Structure 1
């Protein structure tokens, strides 16, 4: 009975939540881009914060690097009884069939955009306990990645594509959200030339490390509205209609999506680097 109750609690914690954004590979890539583009002073302060890892009390979810920190908030799903209150912070439901309104669908700050700013402020406050600031660093690194995943912002009453069954080319048995988090993101990262995790030029950083948190969320919503949903649903978003039970993300769609995903990864990593330099540097 005890094991059943634990299982039910875990399922309850996951109910209604989107899948992990970008998956571990994607989040580590965003953090690696950031680490390659921050200042030496910022890098040194991050390493100092990482020494407080034991204070997190999460031995099953180690945080020994910024890359570890960027996947830590997803690792916490293994202890939903302790961390379930953080799960709504990973996304922000903005219907692609309505106007973008960053405040409309975020009750009491429990969504990704205000949590980016909240954790930035915690990280920027030297007088707070170092363990609390390390936790804020991990949430910040993760949520900047999350807000750049289109289906963690733009959605069509389908839990960000989680309710839409999907085949990835000829591989069945997935859903639309999982395709973007997993196989598609992994292919985009692994096939990128030059590699995404590298030192970018000043001109590249000036082009990509732009905008506000609201701008980042709006970009994801627009990508969902203008590319992702029309591509999935045969050229248009089924506004007012019932979503198809299943779709096929074709080889042509895979090819078209790869450069868009690479750009979102680059933007996320360089914007995170800029934010960390402004906050810690």
Structure 2
């Protein structure tokens, strides 16, 4: 989640390709990606890390009081995964972290550029790497490593939401595009992907997303690195998200004049994409946590 607010004239604050043939998820309560989606990514990761990593996470969670965020508890990895969004309630203290949630690449450009739109490491790809390094460094006090665990868990989830890695015509990751949701309400395209697609993914029938995956599944899905994951999300936005609402690949600077309805067929396809992204995020996060904590 994490819909973007305006902090300065030029800075936006981050809100939050085919679907893989994986088992579908069981129904889940209707909550935004920002909470249920991030909980899901975190819990998939916890179900797939080594016992040593799970023990290290449990030990770090004991340092929760050192975070100094009583309104945003971190007593489980699921809460840790949502913590960076919860910090919006204390924006006076944490606003400097808000641009870390995204890195928007213009979808009409030839490719995603990981070096662009990341001023002084204030973007999601750079902060995943920073958080991983802090988490892995046992010389750093436990509260700071727990903070890094929360940021890492959250940002891996964010990067797998297509509109945290893409935008068109400076629309702040789809926040400037209006769509008509299934309930008839008009909202931003970004919010639709934060909320409706994740709810659709979690409502698909089948085995739950949160489970121990096979070694073959992990090998197939826990692939690549941060730049690869960003390029995947950007490509989904370029090839699926924006063509859906424009009816074609948008031209440079092209804008919509009215809200666009998302069809039932598009909703179903988008839910499958979101399911795949949540699954990949969880398994890739598990790999990072094992690398940082499992030794």
> TM (normalized to structure 1)?
0.93
Q: Deviations over 1:236-281 (max 9, x none)?
A: 2243322344211121110111111111011000000000001100
> How far, CA to CA, are the matches of 1:75 and 1:170 in structure 2?
26
Match of 1:113 among 125, 136, 145: 125
Higher deviation after alignment, 23-32 or 171-180: 171-180
Correspondent of 1:17 among 13, 19, 22:
13
Is residue 2:42 matched to residue 1:50?
A: no
Counterpart for residue 214 of structure 2: 201
Matches within 5 A, 1:68-217: 68-98=79-109, 99-156=111-168, 157-217=170-230
Q: Distance in 2 between matches of 1:107 and 1:192?
A: 42
CA–CA distance in 1 between the matches of 2:191 and 2:90? Answer: 21
1:22-69 CA distances to partner (integer Å, 9 max, x unpaired)? 320100000010011011100000000000000000000000010000
CA distance in 1, matches of 2:194, 2:205: 16
Task: State the distance in 1 between where 2:268 and 2:199 align.
Answer: 13
Check whether the contact 1:230–1:236 (CA below 8 A) recurs between aligned residues.
Answer: yes
* CA apart distance, 1:112: 0.2
List runs of 5+ in structure 2 lacking aligned partners. 17-31
Unaligned runs of 5+ in 1: 1-9
2:37 to 26, 30, 33: 26
For residue 64 of structure 1, what is the aligned residue in structure 2?
75
Shift of 1:76: 0.1
Task: Specify the alignment match of 1:229 in structure 2.
Answer: 242
Aligned equivalent of 1:249: 262
SS in 1 for 2:81: helix
Q: Quote the Cα distance in structure 1 between the aligned partners of 2:173 and 2:99.
A: 13
Aligned mates of 2:14, 2:250 — CA distance in 1:
19
* Alpha-carbon distance in structure 2 between the residues aligned to 1:270 and 1:170: 33
1: CA distance between counterparts of 2:104 and 2:242? 15
d(CA) in 2 for partners of 1:39 and 1:280?
9
Q: Are 2:35 and 1:39 aligned?
A: no
What RMSD, in angstroms, separates the aligned Cα atoms of the two structures?
1.7
Contact 2:46 2:286 in 1 (8 A): yes
Cα 1:11–1:110 change in 2 (3 A) is closer
User: Which residue matches 2:284?
Assistant: 271
Length-normalised TM-score, structure 2: 0.88
Q: Secondary structure at the match of 1:166?
A: strand
2:200 touches 2:267 (CA, 8 Å); kept in 1?
no
CA distance in 1, matches of 2:242, 2:256: 10
Displacement of 1:192 in angstroms is: 4.7
Secondary structure, in 3 states, of the residue corresponding to 2:47? helix
